[in-house]
Chain A
């Protein structure tokens, strides 16, 4: 589904954000990416949909090769949805229109179909009845659920989630994680998060990043219970 080969991303000054990461993701997997702040998790995620340019390596998504010169990023991004820590809902549009707009513009769906789709998805993330609210009138958890529904409206092959619960207080985290738990298995997800219980219960695999490198890759029980690297062992001891 997603093949990642030797991907590196350097920042100004030459230090690496992501360093020689090679990985494969199977269809329907829920991958949780963990690691200390500044370890390159978010940068890596942003590489996958081209918000960051690759300095080395290549990414192949569903057979489409991603390298910077020749790739039609718009095409890739249609297949790769993204949910941000800061939601980034369109503040001047209602929850419903946040879902309708991209369907109309990118997928060219007729208004009625986009509308029906949007209502169904809002219902699915537990926001039935809040269609006409503006983002400013929603709580953080509700905003993030709208953002998830908006990404799903495009029916992406892969969904990237960059710390989707980090900006939320504990109560709201639960509602967002519940939505993600329901989603698990139905689409391929790459989730950067610090939520240990989510990682242990929902992830098919956990990756641990440290200083731009991938230091662990395995099922939750092995990675969290018996990590191979000292760095990961220290990390899990600290977050537990």
Chain B
């Protein structure tokens, strides 16, 4: 019979709070960089210049077909052997590069879902490819990409738990440390699970609200 020790948890709240902040930090920074990277790669996949298209496709396929943990190890232990890289930045680089590949696919799908006639109409009015993208295609694509993009951000927050493997002291790592002191896995990990859940749910609700706001006729 399992004996609950919830009373053991509150003393670690300051520690858990700090770890939550670090999880948020690494997630937000990675979301920003991952989205930028993904947007660039996604645009490269739909532009007319073939070599750039190939480059972007290679990046996407490579990163989508290896585990994130391996990417993090390559950066932290591999690159880390040559240049000093902190656990935080190793995690940010790993997460951004990894998630960027998925964002690129979302961006590509979003752009390709916009009717071809839109590009033809914009070009017929004398807009360049870039102008057509910026003023006509991308605004329509963004609206459609928002739901899958949020899904990807939620994934990233959860994936950030792997940063614990390169000794970044985020929620998961701190959870393990606390558990090894008080041996109450359910209490500790349920607490941490609750925090992840709250972050991700907030993110989903935020996007749903924004989606509704963008839903013009």
Give A contacts to B, CB under 8 Å: 49, 51, 73-75, 77-78, 80-82, 84, 86, 88-92, 101-102, 105-106, 134, 136-137, 147, 150-151, 154
Instruction: Tell me, in angstroms, the Cα distance from A151 to B124 when the chains sit together.
Output: 8
Residues on A with C-beta less than 8 A from B126 are 74-75, 77-78, 102, 106, 154
Q: Flag if A51 contacts B120 (CB, 8 Å).
A: yes
Q: Which 8 A-B pairs have the closest CB atoms?
A: A78-B126, A88-B121, A82-B124, A88-B117, A102-B125, A106-B126, A134-B217, A77-B126
Q: Flag if B128 contacts A88 (CB, 8 Å).
A: no
Residues on B with C-beta less than 8 A from A51 are 120, 123-124
Instruction: Tell me, in angstroms, the Cα distance from A38 to B124 when the chains sit together.
Output: 22
Chain B, residue nearest A80 (CB): B124
Known: A106-B126, A136-B217. A92 touches B120 (CB 8 A): no
Q: How distant is B138 from chain A, measured CB to nearest CB, in Å?
A: 11
Chain A, residue nearest B134 (CB): A105
Q: Flag if B125 contacts A81 (CB, 8 Å).
A: yes
Selected A-B contacts with CB under 8 Å, 24 pairs: A74-B127, A77-B123, A80-B124, A81-B125, A82-B121, A84-B121, A88-B117, A88-B118, A88-B121, A89-B121, A90-B140, A91-B140, A92-B139, A92-B140, A101-B136, A102-B125, A105-B131, A106-B125, A106-B127, A134-B216, A136-B217, A147-B121, A150-B125, A151-B124
Residues on A with C-beta less than 8 A from B139 are 92
* Interface residue? B135 (CB, 8 A): yes
Q: Flag if B125 contacts A154 (CB, 8 Å).
A: yes
Residues on B with C-beta less than 8 A from A90 are 118, 121-122, 136, 140
Query: Which one of A49, A89, A91, A137 lies within 8 Å of B124 (CB-CB)?
Result: A49
Specify the main secondary structure of chain B where it touches its partner: helix
Q: How distant is A82 from chain B, measured CB to nearest CB, in Å?
A: 4
Residues on A with C-beta less than 8 A from B131 are 105-106
* Interface residue? B7 (CB, 8 A): no
Residues on A with C-beta less than 8 A from B121 are 82, 84, 88-90, 147
Chain A, residue nearest B120 (CB): A51
Residues on B with C-beta less than 8 A from A92 are 139-140, 143, 216
Q: Flag if B125 contacts A88 (CB, 8 Å).
A: no
Q: How distant is B180 from chain A, measured CB to nearest CB, in Å?
A: 54
Residues on A with C-beta less than 8 A from B117 are 84, 86, 88
Residues on A with C-beta less than 8 A from B136 are 90, 101
Chain A, residue nearest B216 (CB): A92
Q: Flag if B124 contacts A105 (CB, 8 Å).
A: no
Instruction: Tell me, in angstroms, the Cα distance from A154 to B122 when the chains sit together.
Output: 12
Residues on A with C-beta less than 8 A from B124 are 49, 51, 77, 80-82, 151
Q: Flag if A151 contacts B140 (CB, 8 Å).
A: no
Residues on B with C-beta less than 8 A from A154 are 125-126
Q: Flag if A74 contacts B128 (CB, 8 Å).
A: yes
Q: How distant is A202 from chain B, measured CB to nearest CB, in Å?
A: 22
Quick one: which of B114-155 are within 8 Å of A by CB?
115, 117-118, 120-128, 131, 135-136, 139-140, 143
Q: How distant is B29 from chain A, measured CB to nearest CB, in Å?
A: 31
Residues on B with C-beta less than 8 A from A86 are 117
Residues on B with C-beta less than 8 A from A74 are 126-128
Instruction: Tell me, in angstroms, the Cα distance from A150 to B120 when the chains sit together.
Output: 14
Q: Flag if B125 contacts A77 (CB, 8 Å).
A: yes
